[in-house]
Structure 1
Amino acid sequence: MLHLAKKTPPGGPVSPEAAVMVSALNAKLTHHGAWDVLNTAFDTIPDLALVSSFGAESVVLLHLAAMIKRDVPVIFIDTEMLFTETLVYQQDVAERLRLSNVQIIRADDADARDPSRSLHRRNPDACCALRKIAPLRRALDGHSGWITGRKRYQSGTRQALEFFEAEAGTGRIKVNPLARWSRDDIAEYMAENRLPRHPLVAQGYPSIGCAPCTSPVAAGEDPRAGRWRDQNKDECGIHFVDGKLVRAGQET
Structure 2
Amino acid sequence: METALHDTARQLDAELREIDALPARLRHIAQAVPGRVAFSTSLGIEDQVVLAAIAAADADVDVFTLDTGRHFPETLETLDMSEARYGRQIRVVFPESDDVEQLVARDGIFGFRNSLEARRACCDVRKVRPLNRALQGASGWITGLRSGQATTRAEVPLASADTNLGLIKISPLGDWSLERIEAYADEHAVPRNPLHARGFPSIGCQPCTRAIEPGEDIRAGRWWWENAEHKECGLHSRPRAKGQAA
TM bucket normalised to smaller: 0.7 to 0.9
Specify every segment of 5 or more residues in structure 1 that has no aligned partner in the other structure, as ranges: 6-14, 245-251
Equivalent pair of 1:168/1:242 in contact (CA under 8 Å)? no
2:13 aligned residue (13, 21, 26): 26
Relative contact order, higher structure (CA 8 A, sep 6+): 1
Q: Which runs of 4+ in 1 moved over 3 A?
A: 241-244
Equivalent pair of 1:35/1:177 in contact (CA under 8 Å)? no
> 2-side partners of 1:241 and 1:24: how far apart?
22
2:103 is equivalent to residue 113 of structure 1 = yes
> 2-side partners of 1:156 and 1:31: how far apart?
27
1:88 aligned residue (77, 82, 92): 77
Which residue of 2 is the match for residue 230 of structure 1? 225
Map 1:29-108 → 2, pairs under 5 A: 29-33=16-20, 34-45=22-33, 46-69=35-58, 72-100=61-89, 102-108=90-96
> 2-side partners of 1:88 and 1:30: how far apart?
34
User: What's the secondary structure of 2:160's corresponding residue?
Assistant: strand
Deviation for aligned residue 1:25: 1.6
Which residue of 1 is the match for residue 173 of structure 2? 178
Which amino acid in 1 is paired with 2:8? M
> 2-side partners of 1:16 and 1:70: how far apart?
28
Q: Could you list the per-position Cα deviations for residues 221-247 of structure 1 after superposition, in whole angstroms to 9, with x for gaps in the alignment?
A: 111110110303211110135448xxx
> 2-side partners of 1:243 and 1:149: how far apart?
20
Q: Could you list the per-position Cα deviations for residues 145-186 of structure 1 after superposition, in whole angstroms to 9, with x for gaps in the alignment?
A: 110000002013322211101003222001110111111101
Equivalent pair of 2:103/2:122 in contact (CA under 8 Å)? no
> 2-side partners of 1:234 and 1:173: how far apart?
23
1:72/1:23 Cα in 2 relative to 1: closer, same or farther (>3 Å)?
Answer: closer
RMSD: 1.8
Deviation for aligned residue 1:140: 0.6
Deviation for aligned residue 1:118: 1.9
1:198/1:79 Cα in 2 relative to 1: closer, same or farther (>3 Å)?
Answer: same
2:239 is equivalent to residue 239 of structure 1 = no
Equivalent pair of 2:30/2:59 in contact (CA under 8 Å)? no
Deviation for aligned residue 1:56: 3.7
User: What's the secondary structure of 2:64's corresponding residue?
Assistant: strand
User: What's the secondary structure of 1:152's corresponding residue?
Assistant: coil
User: What's the secondary structure of 1:54's corresponding residue?
Assistant: coil
Which amino acid in 2 is paired with 1:59? Q
Equivalent pair of 1:106/1:135 in contact (CA under 8 Å)? yes
Q: Could you list the per-position Cα deviations for residues 196-217 of structure 1 after superposition, in whole angstroms to 9, with x for gaps in the alignment?
A: 2211112111110000110111
Aligned-residue sequence identity (percent) comes to 35
Q: TM-score, normalised by structure 2?
A: 0.87
Equivalent pair of 2:23/2:56 in contact (CA under 8 Å)? no
Specify every segment of 5 or more residues in structure 2 that has no aligned partner in the other structure, as ranges: none
Map 1:79-228 → 2, pairs under 5 A: 79-100=68-89, 102-108=90-96, 109-115=99-105, 116-122=108-114, 123-228=118-223
Q: TM-score, normalised by structure 1?
A: 0.85
> 2-side partners of 1:60 and 1:136: how far apart?
21
The aligned length equals 231
